[in-house]
Amino acid sequence: MDICAPEKLTQPRDHKAKVCIWGDLTVADVDAICEAGTADDKKRILSNLFGLYHGDSMESANMKDEIILDLYFYTIQFCIDNNFSKEQISAFFSIIKRTHAICVETPFGNVDNTFRYFRDMLLCHAVKRPPFSIELFSADEVKLLTEYTIHTYFRHFKMYKYAFTPQVKLDLRLAYEGVPVPSPPPEEEPEVEPEEKVEVVEQEETKPVTPELELTEAQKELRALIQKQLDEEVNKLRVTVDEQLKVSDEGLQKKLTAAEGNSNRGSSKGGRKKK
């Protein structure tokens, strides 16, 4: 699954979760990253593995690659800080990488689809049911990984969407039967001297009014009426879209608040057991 902005605008859709251990990082890759001395050394290894450009200056660096590189680095660093095994590091890295690919596959809102995929991927590595899933993470580790991803990736979901997907603009054009299509606006005339402009105005004022001009005025009135109706419909559409975005944001906020509440209740009962 490629991490890139889509060439075609696709609608949000659900994806099937599957086991992805050693899917993106091999044993040798994990060993090399864990043995790297500094954060910059780890980023350099990751950039070489996935063809990302990592520059020393902001001017020469590709901003999208820098964002992806930070996402990869902090994901692995979190696993190292929590003493995860090599298998767990490889699996969680692939989960984050593929969750991001779902996020940026469409410029439309798909936070629900992305979160469901992330949740299903975690469960796919927490339940022993071969060949469909494996028991790689414990219940406490699943909870820890969920809290980390919500507080880091999903908190900045709109930022990733803005940085990696094209902007969608509505270009609405209507054609009515019996109404001629308006001609494109004429090109700008070259500037002339003030005396020449006065002469042109005087000539236009002396032209007699013909039935053709009267018909043009009627067409203008009809187009003005159509434009007014169209503006009203576009305003209604804009209000509907804004309401849908507001409902989607409120739903995400409720999910995040519920996850934080569960985290606080769980932490009061006891800490996570480490292997």
Reported as a single tens digit per residue, the pLDDT across 21-34 is: 999 999 999 999 99
Across the chain, mean pLDDT equals 79
What residues have CB less than 8 Å from 19, skipping those under 6 apart?
124, 125, 131, 132, 133, 134
pTM above 0.85, yes or no: no
Residues 36 and 165 in one domain: yes
**Which pLDDT value is given to residue 274?**
44
Whether residue 37 lies inside any domain: the answer is yes
Whether residue 130 lies inside any domain: the answer is yes
Query: In the chain, what percentage of residues exceed pLDDT 90?
Result: 47
131 cis-preceded (ω within 30 degrees of 0): yes
The boundaries of the domain holding residue 205 are: 170-275
pLDDT tens digits for 93-131? 999 999 999 999 999 899 999 999 999 999 999 999 888
What residues have CB less than 8 Å from 176, skipping those under 6 apart?
226
Q: What is the mean pLDDT of residues 225-241?
A: 71
Whether residue 203 lies inside any domain: the answer is yes
pLDDT band at 9 (very low <50, low <70, confident <90, very high): low
Q: Is the pLDDT of residue 5 over 50?
A: no
Domain C-terminal end among 169, 194, 210 = 169
Q: Is the pLDDT of residue 212 over 80?
A: no
Higher pLDDT, 271 or 166: 166
pLDDT tens digits for 161-193? 999 988 777 676 777 676 676 666 666 655 555
Whether residue 16 lies inside any domain: the answer is no
Whether residue 150 lies inside any domain: the answer is yes
Among 231, 210, 219, residue whose Cα is nearest residue 183: 219
Distance, CA of 78 to CA of 74 (rounded, Å): 6
Domain C-terminal end among 134, 169, 204 = 169
Category of 15 on φ-ψ map: left (φ > 0), alpha (ψ -120 to 50) or beta: beta
Residues 266 and 254 in one domain: yes
Residues 187 and 114 in one domain: no
**Which pLDDT value is given to residue 4?**
43
Q: Is the pLDDT of residue 39 over 80?
A: yes
Residues 243 and 275 in one domain: yes
**Which pLDDT value is given to residue 256?**
74
Counted domains in the chain:
2
Whether residue 14 lies inside any domain: the answer is no
Whether residue 128 lies inside any domain: the answer is yes
Whether residue 217 lies inside any domain: the answer is yes
Residues 46 and 113 in one domain: yes
